[in-house]
A = this chain, B = another copy of it.
Amino acid sequence: MPSAAGRGQGQDRRPENEDSSAADDYAKERYGVSSMIQSQEKPDRVLVRIKDLTLEKADEEVWVRGRIHTSRAKGKQCFLVLRQQQFNIQALVAVGQHASKQMVKFAANITKESIVDIEGVVRKAHQKIGGCTQQDVELHVQRIYVISSAEPRLPLQLDDAVRPEVEGEEDGRATVNQDTRLDNRIIDLRTSTSQAIFCLQSGICQLFRETLIRKGFVEIQTPKIISAASEGGANVFTVSYFKTSAYLAQSPQLYKQMCICADFEKVFCVGPVFRAEDSNTHRHLTEFVGLDIEMAFNYHYHEVVDEIADTLVQIFKGLQERFQTEIQTVSKQFPCEPFKFLEPTLRLEYREGVAMLREAGVEMGDEEDLSTPNEKLLGRLVKEKYDTDFYILDKYPLAVRPFYTMPDPANPKTSNSYDMFMRGEEILSGAQRIHDPQLLTERAKHHGIDLEKIKAYIDSFRFGAPPHAGGGIGLERVTMLYLGLHNVRQTSMFPRDPKRLTP
Contact = CB atoms under 8 A, between A and B. Distances in A.
Interface of A: 1, 9, 11, 36-43, 45, 47, 65, 67, 84-85, 113-115, 147-151, 154, 185-187, 189-190, 194-195, 198-199, 201-202, 205-206, 209, 213, 218-227, 237-242, 244, 246, 248, 255, 258-259, 261-265, 270-272, 274, 276, 278, 286-287, 289, 298-302, 406-410, 416, 432, 435-436, 439, 456, 460-467, 475, 492-494, 496, 498, 501-503
Given A189-B263, A225-B286, 12 more contacts: A38-B416, A38-B432, A39-B300, A39-B409, A40-B409, A221-B475, A224-B272, A238-B239, A239-B239, A258-B503, A272-B272, A456-B502
Contacts of A259: 189, 493
A115 B466 contact: yes
Given A149-B464, A286-B225, A301 B39 contact: yes
A126 B502 CA distance: 69
Nearest to A288: B221
A501 B227 contact: yes
Given A113-B464, A148-B435, A241-B237, A85 B263 contact: yes
Contacts of A298: 45, 47, 65
Contacts of A185: 258, 262
Contacts of A493: 220-222, 255, 259
B496 A223 contact: yes
B465 A302 contact: no
Contacts of A492: 221
B154 A186 contact: no
A406 B39 CA distance: 9
A189 B213 CA distance: 20
Nearest to A36: B436
Contacts of A115: 464-466
A111 to B, nearest CB: 8
Given A148-B466, A302-B39, A262 B190 contact: yes
A128 to B, nearest CB: 25
Nearest to A219: B202
A463 B206 contact: no
A454 to B, nearest CB: 12
A206 B464 CA distance: 30
A430 to B, nearest CB: 13
A37 B242 contact: no
A357 to B, nearest CB: 26
Nearest to A416: B39
Contacts of A494: 222-223, 255, 258
Nearest to A206: B213
A302 B43 CA distance: 12
A38 B302 CA distance: 11
A38 B407 contact: yes
A289 B221 CA distance: 8
Given A186-B258, A186-B262, A432-B39, A218 B202 contact: yes
Given A149-B464, A202-B218, A463-B151, A41 B299 contact: yes
Contacts of A202: 218-220
A458 to B, nearest CB: 12
A274 B225 contact: yes
Contacts of A503: 258, 456, 460
Given A189-B259, A225-B501, A242 B278 contact: yes
B39 A148 contact: no
Which of A1, A9, A237, A255 counts the most chain B CB atoms within 10 A? A237
Nearest to A221: B289
Contact of A209 (B42, B114, B209, B272): B209
